[in-house]
Amino acid sequence: MSLRPNARAEVRRNRYKVAVDAEEGRRRREDNMVEIRKNRREESLQKKRREGLQPQQLSSSLHSSGLDKKVKPNV
């Protein structure tokens, strides 16, 4: 009993190397993309938080340094 050329190639392909399941590969790629998007979003939020704190820290340090000068007596 002879196999058709198409069937013979299919058998050889299946024996040679285990192929990645299409659904499994798609699921992995989607999971990776979701993780990358979450990381980028978190980095962006952290950057905005840091930038938001810097002007507040500068203004509070200016106020405190100005008060220190007024409180200290001149000698």
Q: Global pTM?
A: 0.46
Q: How many CB atoms lie within 10 A of CB 53?
A: 10
pLDDT tens digits for range 14-69: 777 666 788 999 999 999 999 999 999 999 999 999 988 776 665 665 555 555 55
- For position 14, what pLDDT does the model report? 73
φ and ψ at 17, to 5 degrees?
A: -150, 135
